[in-house]
Amino acid sequence: MTISHDPTQLNQDPAYQEGLAHYQAGEWQEAIASFEQAAQRFPDERALQDLLDQASFKAQRDTETRVRGKRWIVSWPRVLGAVLAVVVFGLGVVIGVRAMRDWIAPAWAEAREARTTAALLKDANAYLAGGRFDDAEAKYWDYLGRVPESAEAQEGLEQILVQRELLAMYEQAVALQEAGDRAGALAIYTDLLMRAPQYKDVRLRVGDLRRAEDIEGLYAAAEADYSAGLYVDALDKFEQLQALDSNYQATSVQSRLFDLYMALGREAITHNPPMAELVPQAESYFTRALSLRPRDTDAALEQRLTQLFTQGYTLYQQGYWDDAISSLRAIYDRRPDYMNGMVLAALYDACIRSGDDYRRSGDLGFAYERYRQAAALPVADITLALARLDEVTPYLTPTSTPTATATPTNTPLPTETPRPTVAPTPKPLTAYRNAIAFYSDNEDRPGIWVMDASFRNRVYLGNSRALQTAFAQIYERHAYSPDGRYRLFVRSASGSEQIFVERPPDPAQGDLPPVQLTNLRVCYNPVWSPDGGRIAFVSEQDRTDDIWVMNPDGSDPRNLTENGWEWEKHPSWSPDGSKIIFWSNREGRKQLYIMDADGRNVRNISNTPDDEYDPVWIR
């Protein structure tokens, strides 16, 4: 018998393999028998001998210790429950898989397909509405591939053909319009409107074309009227033209309008016989001319002269002779023949009547000056003025100085009627710089008084109309900004008097509308501070008339003299802007008061038994 020592042969030996199986199962006797058979063929295999010894040892040990193999205690109810659960779960899985395969998956696929198909139609319709005809066509065909009998898709494809045709017509018409072929464009647009009344902006384009035709015809007609001297008709057409299209022949139209405004305005003021009622219309023409050329000096002068005439002639008719003279004289000095001599005649008469008023009030010096001014005017008959001079001259005391103190004029005194000089006129109110002028109801000397800045040294000036006019003019000037470019005034707004500011003309835009500064209850007496930074005024916002201040733009209005029942009125700034004077009835009668510009340190500067009011700080 050949003995092999190759371990590989041992591992392949059946007895050895059988012994290993018994050994691993704890069957020691069976393992010993199998290992002994294998040991006969491989007596020198040490590993086999070791296994045999181990099996023998364990068999002997089991015999000696009587150890039995471990027995498992099985809970059959639990086992059966677990097996049942596994079986049920398995059945559920099987049933679910079959349901998924047979019912759910097909339904899902069908729903997904339906959504995809519906999305195709929706996208196609959206593309059609948005004018993306190629994309819409592709989507419709794709949809028809899924729903061959779809009437909506067929209709969509037909609409694409129609819309493409309309678009081609529209683009052709636009091209013709841009090339200047209005007739060709209008014909195509008209066809488009017949087929698709709301197509794109066709209606607007048709309106533009027809308006362009109207504008051209209107321009031609306006030019024809202008050339024929029919200025009113030409103006009406040119204004219509500008309203229709301000850009059409803009330079030419604006030039024509300016010329027409100036011509018609001058025609009104040179009308023979002169007609005062035409002057407001002339002023309107000149104002419109200035709106076109804000820097034109001729238009500005004509506008100013009409304004002065309206103001002066109205005052003349109302009997305010001195105020009328101021306005009429300004016109006469610039244009003596204005309104075909109407200004000259009114100025002469106003001088006579003003002199008569001064004469009746006892101001013979002023009366003489007015008569002298009337006599110096080149009217046809100055007999009345010379007679009045003769009447007042004996009552005047000549001075040793051979020159008169009268207001200078552009027309010299007539050499054939020399007149004696008169005593110097009273000191003008404006000469009392830094003094405070005011009204007093003094029983003996009622009228206008002045006091110095220390509130002493009172001087009575008088109560003539000329003095009252000068007083009013000083206070009116305080409504202007320090540079004279802005003017405060009062007018009704929303049912209550409010303060507005008049702005200077803009170089580009011409006259600007006034701006409302206040929105309080009843506002008046606005005066600008000397530094231009604040405005004082009176308001009834807090139940009674109080002195308020605000910024020049109307912001931050503040009540400086809030009281329960008293009145405070007629504010006026000190020359340095640190104080405000006003009058109040807080002590039962009208008295002058002064306070700091912030409303503190109020004190009475009258302290008299007489009513004193309407103070003005002359500066």
Instruction: Supply the CATH number for residue 195's domain.
Output: 1.25.40
CB atoms within 10 A of CB 70: 6
Query: Residue 514, Cβ neighbours under 10 Å: how many?
Result: 15
Angle at 354 between CA 353 and CA 355, to 5 degrees: 90
Give residue 52's pLDDT band: very low, low, confident or very high (50, 70, 90). confident
**207 is a domain residue:** no
* Domain identity same for 115 and 51: no
* Percent above pLDDT 90 for the chain: 52
What does the alpha-carbon distance between residue 343 and residue 348 come to, in Å, rounded to a whole number?
A: 9
Quickly state the pLDDT bin for 426 (edges 50, 70, 90): low
Residue 150 CA to residue 13 CA, distance in Å, equals: 81
> Hey, is 45 helix, strand or coil?
coil
Residue 413: pLDDT band by 50, 70, 90 thresholds?
A: very low
Of the candidates 396, 284, 279, the residue with the CA atom closest to the CA atom of residue 343: 279
Other beta carbons within 10 Å of 105: 11
Q: Are 453 and 570 found together in one domain? A: yes
Q: Does residue 20 or residue 581 have the better pLDDT?
A: 581
User: DSSP string covering 543-602, please?
Assistant: SS-EEEEE-TTS-S-EESS--SS--EEEEEE-TTSSEEEEEE-TTSS-EEEEEETTS-S-
pLDDT at 431 over 90: no
Helix, strand or coil, per DSSP, at residue 326: helix
**589 inside domain:** yes
Place of tokens 């362009």: 212
* pLDDT value, residue 65: 65
Q: Are 376 and 350 in contact (CB under 8 A)?
A: no
Q: What integer pLDDT is reported at residue 404 of this predicted model?
A: 37
Sign, CA torsion 369/370/371/372: positive
pLDDT of 524 reads 96
Tell me if 468 is assigned to some domain.
yes
CA distance 404 to 414: 14
pLDDT band of 410, cuts 50, 70, 90: very low
- Is residue 382 in a domain? yes
Q: Is 457 helix (H, G, I), strand (E, B) or coil?
A: coil
pLDDT in tens, 174-204: 999 999 898 898 889 888 877 887 888 988 8
Structure tokens at 478: 């305080």
Could you identify the residue written with the tokens 């007596």?
43
Q: Of the candidates 368, 392, 425, which is a domain's last residue?
A: 425
Residues whose CB is less than 8 angstroms from the CB of residue 222 and which lie 6 or more positions away in sequence, other chains included: 234, 237, 238, 241, 256
Higher pLDDT, 290 or 406: 290
Q: Which of 13-17, 252-256, 277-281 has the lowest mean pLDDT?
A: 13-17
Domain boundary residue, one of 181, 200, 219: 200
Kindly state the average pLDDT of the residues 83-97. Answer: 83
Residue 188 lies in a domain: yes
> What CA–CA distances, in Å, run from 129 to 118, 125, 163, 192?
17, 6, 10, 18
Whole-angstrom distance, CA of residue 582 vs CA of residue 560: 12
Q: Are residues 579 and 486 in the same domain?
A: yes
Same domain, 41 and 117: no
In angstroms, rounded to a whole number, what is the distance separating the alpha carbons of residues 331 and 309?
A: 7
Site of tokens 């003003």: 354
Would you place residue 129 in the very low, low, confident or very high pLDDT band (cuts 50, 70, 90)? confident
448/356 Cα distance (integer angstroms): 22
Whether 230 maps to a domain, the answer reads: no
Q: What pLDDT is stored for residue 71 in this prediction?
A: 56
Sheet strand arrangement including 487-493: 487-493, 496-502, 515-516
Residue 322: which of 353, 291, 345, 278 has the closest Cα?
353
Structural domain ending residue among the three candidates 373, 392, 425: 425
Task: Give the Cα separation of 257 and 316 in Å (integer).
Answer: 34
Task: Report the CATH number that the domain containing residue 445 is assigned in CATH.
Answer: 2.120.10.30
Closest among 263, 255, 273 to 219, alpha carbons compared:
255
Give residue-wise pLDDT tens across range 368-397: 999 999 999 999 999 999 999 999 988 875
Q: Beta-carbon neighbour count of residue 376 at 10 Å?
A: 21
Q: How far apart are the first and last CA of the chain?
A: 154
Q: What is the pLDDT of residue 88?
A: 86
pLDDT value at residue 73? 63
- d(CA 130, CA 116) in angstroms, rounded, equals 21
Q: Are residues 406 and 452 in the same domain?
A: no
Q: In the prediction, which pLDDT does 419 show?
A: 39
Evaluate if residue 416 carries a pLDDT over 50. Answer: no
517 contacts 511 by C-beta, under 8 angstroms: no
Residue 273: asked if its preceding bond is cis (omega within 30°), the reply is: yes
Q: Are residues 580 and 434 in the same domain?
A: yes
Look at residue 316 in the predicted model and tell me its pLDDT. 94
pLDDT at residue 400 is higher than 60: no
Q: What pLDDT score was predicted for residue 397?
A: 57
Dihedral sign, Cα of residue 177, residue 181, residue 186, residue 187: negative
Q: What distance in Å separates the CA atoms of residue 498 and residue 267, rounded to the nearest whole number?
A: 38
Q: Is the pLDDT of residue 150 over 80?
A: yes
Residues across the chain:
619
Asked whether residue 271 is assigned to any structural domain, the reply reads no
* 149 and 183 together in one domain: yes
419 shares its domain with 437: no
Enclosing domain of residue 442: 429-617
Could you give the residue ranges of the DSSP H alpha helices within 478-554? none
Asked if 567 and 482 sit in the same domain, the reply is yes
| Number of structural domains the chain divides into | 4
Q: How confident is the model at residue 407 (pLDDT cuts 50, 70, 90)?
A: very low
Whole-number Å distance between alpha carbons of 393 and 371: 10
Residues 483 and 591 placed together within one structural domain of the fold: yes
Cα–Cα distance between 209 and 173 in angstroms, integer?
Answer: 11
Lowest mean pLDDT among 54-58, 294-298, 567-571: 54-58
Helices (H) and strands (E) in the chain, counts: 19, 15
* pLDDT at site 7: 66
Same domain? 418 vs 461: no
> The pTM is what?
0.42
Q: Indicate whether 394 belongs to any domain.
A: yes
Provide the mean pLDDT of the chain.
Answer: 87
Model confidence over 529-557: pLDDT tens digits?
Answer: 998 889 999 999 988 899 999 999 899 99
User: Is residue 551 domain-shared with residue 415, that is, in the same domain?
Assistant: no
Q: Which long-range contacts (CB under 8 A, 24 or more apart) does 289-293 make?
A: 289/257, 289/258, 289/261, 289/262, 289/265, 290/505, 290/510, 290/511, 291/510, 291/511, 292/254, 292/257, 292/258, 292/261, 292/510, 293/258
Separation of alpha carbons 406 and 426, rounded Å:
11
DSSP at 542 = T
